[in-house]
Homo-oligomer: A and B are copies of this chain.
Amino acid sequence: MGRPKSFSREEVVEKAMPVFWKRGFADTTLQELERATGVNKSGLYTEFRDKEDLFVACLRHYIESQEKRGLLTKEPLGWKNVEIFLKNGPLNKGEQQGCFSVNSMREFAVLPDEAYGVVTENRALLQHLLAINIEAEKPGMAVSAIAEMVLSFFSGLCIERNLKSGKASSTRKIENFMTALRRL
């Protein structure tokens, strides 16, 4: 046995995530990652192959932590869950605005292919969860059609978090959107 390391992989990922989230992949420097995680380069490179590897780990971690919130699985399934998802899905915690996954979509050109897979897989899951909630309401329009509409609207809300518009306007928008949905 030798010296035990002073950080865990998960700790690093958790601290690195907000940096990538805010600044994106290309504009995040190793220096920032060192500062944010409190682990220096040699530590980071023993744990992760390269910057891309760490980024993907952060993305995965983000998605898992979102899934753990179980926003769309609470009983009873229905519009209420969809509304809560739209209102509370995009985060609002300091530097972490909107959705890390949606933010990453803009950067696929620079990201490893793996990131594309992770994001699309996550979207497929979201679409499914939306669908079972919509299904419970027995709307007139095709369930999957509504689900993909909701996902697009959600994506829009997420990038709009990059603007300095207040929370009130977002809430209002969601409530109006829900009104429209309930009539389908």
Residues of B within 8 A of A102 (CB): 159
Q: In the assembly, what is the distance between CA of A151 and CA of B172, in Å?
A: 13
Question: Is the beta-carbon distance between A110 and B23 smaller than 8 angstroms?
Answer: yes
Asked whether B159 lies within 8 Å of A173 as measured between CB atoms, the reply is no
Q: How far is the CB of A97 from chain B (nearest CB, A)?
A: 10
Q: Which of A49-57, A65-73, A77-85, A141-149 contacts B (4 or more CB under 8 A)?
A: A141-149
Instruction: Say whether A172 contacts B145, CB under 8 Å.
Output: yes
Q: Is A157 an interface residue (CB 8 A)?
A: yes
User: Given A24-B106, A109-B22, A179-B184, A152 and B160 touching (CB < 8 A)?
Assistant: yes
What's the nearest-Cβ distance from chain B to residue A125, in Å? 15
Let me know if B27 and A109 touch, CB within 8 A.
yes
Q: Is the CB of B149 within 8 A of A177?
A: yes
Q: Is A88 in contact with chain B by the CB < 8 A criterion? A: no
